[in-house]
Amino acid sequence: MPKKNEVEKVISEDELSKEFKEYSVAEFFKRNRQMLGYTGKVRSLTTVVHEYVTNSLDACEDAKILPEILVEIKSLPNGHFVVINEDNGTGIPKKNIGQALGMLLAGTKFARRQQKRGQQGIGAAYATLFSQITTGKTTHVKSSIGDGLVYECDVSVDINKNNPVISNEKEYRAKFRGTRIEIELAEVEYNRSNYSVYEYLRRTAIANPHSQITLVEPNNEIIVFPRAATEIPKQPKSILPHPLGITTSDLMEMAGVTPARKLSSFLESEFSRVSSDKVKELSALVANIDFERAPKTLTWEEAERIVSAISKLKWIAPDSDALAPIGTSQLEKSLKNLLAPESLKVVERPSKVFRGGISFMVEAAIAYGGNSGSGGGIATSANSRSEPNSSSEGKGELMRFANRVPLLFDAGSCAISEAVKTIDWSRYELKDWEKLPISIFVNFTSVYVPYTGAGKLAIAQEEEIIAEIRNALMECARSVSSYLHGMQRAALQEERRAIFFRYLKEVAQVLSEITGKEKTVLEEKLRKIAEERTSLLEAEDAEEQEDELEKLEKDASSDIEDSQ
């Protein structure tokens, strides 16, 4: 506080303007690394591995190569860790290595309407920056660049300019294909918790059955997550936005830059599923808008009316060729291979759209028993695999994925978690599923995943997305419920048979003594009566089960209609 009679100094405009400074993207994220998932030692290490592994999977699939990925983690005496990620892809072109690993927001994925694991061009470059700001070290890269040539260099980031700095370059001939990145990190830690590198790779293997992933831990234990399928996922096509879900802002922005000369041709050329007939239907719903005029003349109020009219029309679903889900058969192979469940149901929903006209699909599965649940076993070394746990040992786990990439963190703010919370699991004999040997699997597939933040840790809670996840999981739950009902009835029937047959010989002996008839004849007659009686009871049970399942189907259908 200024003293009495002292005039408080007023800052002039010139002095204030000197305080303003333009920051580079690299400098911004250096100060706000938590936005990218770098919070906590275990989480930071997993985030680095995540960025490299997703890039390796994309690179191999683009080249139609079955991925073989090695992740090696070494601990150093000074408390630092070295992470090595090596793949068998085609390598990074020499001219692009700096941009890919040393420049934030540089890449090919963000502007393309094509499904990829990464979207923003931040991840691998920020791993370089994270190493730089925690250890002062550069990141070493080895990459095949074609014609039998191998290129090696060290990469760092010019933080003030967000530009890559390349040093120690060398080029030579060698038998090597792919990319190998070696990075030293501080402020990280390795363990086998639910948020660890181990768990991340375990889930990556489940969602990518065509890949083989090897993890070498700091204690030199080698863990192999074996390939469960040899079919390389199809390459998704680039797509146009679907009109359903488009916002007024999107429409205005696209109309302002389109090369089309007419509003009608703009809608037909810039959106999927829009034909000349659909344009006529739209024009009939929105009066006083000339669809022959230039799109750039469209006003906000007119765009609002067009968007409203679009929502009232019936549209063909988005083209599924734009999306590359895991596939029910591939996912089933993977889950059986790694979880060996007693019961498994896999569901793939048809494509839908959400805000911005973005198409998406939901795949879901529920595995019960065997290795299912967080307490279940899995591959533990290069030469052995653990035996399935008994059902009582497993605990329920929710496995969240976006474009086949595990989402380990921020579960509370994710659309998948929200959908799971809104289901009445007791209806499916799965009340308190968290205590049961169950693995709930959900994969959200889209050209554009609406993450809640730059760290790509959770999916935004869009209504359309939550509804689709609910529908898929309820369909899976009905199948598991049927299996559990069957198990319960089988146990009851076995108990009934035991009661009938337990005293059969004794009863036959007593009747023989009373009637004087042969014991063996009486025993055979009693056996037939017991079998007929138990068969009738089993038939009644089967009919009762059918009625219960029919009621379950009706209730679930009602829930689905409500969610839509």
Q: In this predicted model, what pLDDT tens digit does every residue of 58-84 receive, in sequence order?
A: 999 989 999 999 999 999 999 999 999
- On whether both 414 and 330 belong to a single domain, the answer is yes
- 3 state DSSP class of 434: helix
Asked whether residue 144 is assigned to any structural domain, the reply reads yes
Q: Which of 242-246, 489-493, 552-556 has the highest mean pLDDT?
A: 242-246
Asked whether residue 89 is assigned to any structural domain, the reply reads yes
Asked whether residue 7 is assigned to any structural domain, the reply reads no
Say yes or no to pLDDT of 390 above 60: no
Q: What average pLDDT score do residues 431-459 get?
A: 88
Asked whether residue 34 is assigned to any structural domain, the reply reads yes
Say yes or no to pLDDT of 56 above 80: yes
* Cα–Cα distances in angstroms (integers) from residue 496 to residues 355, 487, 488, 535, 543, in the given order: 56, 14, 12, 11, 17
CA–CA separation, 415 vs 412, rounded Å?
A: 9
Phi, psi dihedrals of residue 330, rounded to the nearest 5°:
-65, -45
Count the domains in the chain: 4
Q: Token pair for residue 361?
A: 């699909």
The whole-number pLDDT of residue 490 equals 59
The whole-number pLDDT of residue 130 equals 92
| Region for 146 from its dihedrals, namely left if φ exceeds 0, alpha if ψ lies in -120 to 50, beta otherwise | left
What lies within 8 Å, CB to CB, of 133 at 6+ separation is: 30
- On whether both 34 and 158 belong to a single domain, the answer is yes
The whole-number pLDDT of residue 285 equals 92
Say yes or no to pLDDT of 41 above 90: yes
The whole-number pLDDT of residue 376 equals 53
- On whether both 377 and 425 belong to a single domain, the answer is yes
The whole-number pLDDT of residue 341 equals 92
- On whether both 57 and 128 belong to a single domain, the answer is yes
Tens-place pLDDT, residues 495-506: 666 666 666 777
Asked whether residue 358 is assigned to any structural domain, the reply reads yes
CA–CA separation, 501 vs 489, rounded Å?
A: 18
Return mean pLDDT, the chain.
Answer: 83
- On whether both 380 and 476 belong to a single domain, the answer is yes
Asked whether residue 215 is assigned to any structural domain, the reply reads no
- Last residue of some domain: 190, 217, 232? 190
- On whether both 275 and 338 belong to a single domain, the answer is no
- Last residue of some domain: 190, 208, 230? 190
Q: Which of 273-277, 491-495, 551-555 has the highest mean pLDDT?
A: 273-277
CB-CB contact of 44 with 38 (8 Å): yes
Say yes or no to pLDDT of 191 above 60: yes
Say yes or no to pLDDT of 113 above 50: no
- Last residue of some domain: 190, 225, 260? 190
* Residue 397 CA from chain centroid, whole number: 14
Tens-place pLDDT, residues 313-343: 988 877 767 788 899 999 999 999 888 999 9
pLDDT above 90 covers what percent of the chain? 51
- On whether both 177 and 31 belong to a single domain, the answer is yes
- On whether both 477 and 512 belong to a single domain, the answer is no
Closest CA to 183 of 282, 102, 84: 84
- On whether both 147 and 181 belong to a single domain, the answer is yes
Say yes or no to pLDDT of 383 above 60: no
Helix H or strand E segment including 368 = strand 358-368
The whole-number pLDDT of residue 44 equals 93
CB-CB contact of 108 with 238 (8 Å): no
Q: What average pLDDT score do residues 24-50 get?
A: 81
- On whether both 75 and 181 belong to a single domain, the answer is yes
What lies within 8 Å, CB to CB, of 74 at 6+ separation is: 81, 82, 84, 218
The whole-number pLDDT of residue 309 equals 93
Q: Token pair for residue 481?
A: 């419920």
Asked whether residue 196 is assigned to any structural domain, the reply reads no
Say yes or no to pLDDT of 463 above 60: yes
Tens-place pLDDT, residues 220-271: 999 999 998 898 888 777 778 888 878 899 899 999 999 999 999 999 999 9
Say yes or no to pLDDT of 95 above 60: yes
Asked whether residue 234 is assigned to any structural domain, the reply reads no
Residue 475 carries which side chain, given as an amino acid letter? E
Least confident span in 55-59, 296-300, 534-538: 534-538
Parent domain of 524:
503-563
Q: Which residue has the higher pLDDT, 162 or 22?
A: 162
Say yes or no to pLDDT of 388 above 80: no
The whole-number pLDDT of residue 500 equals 63
- On whether both 417 and 535 belong to a single domain, the answer is no
Given pLDDT bands bounded at 50, 70 and 90, which one contains residue 27? Answer: confident
Q: What average pLDDT score do residues 520-548 get?
A: 67
Given pLDDT bands bounded at 50, 70 and 90, which one contains residue 375? Answer: low
Q: What average pLDDT score do residues 359-368 get?
A: 93
Q: Tokens 């108990």, residue?
A: 495
- On whether both 81 and 132 belong to a single domain, the answer is yes
The whole-number pLDDT of residue 536 equals 59
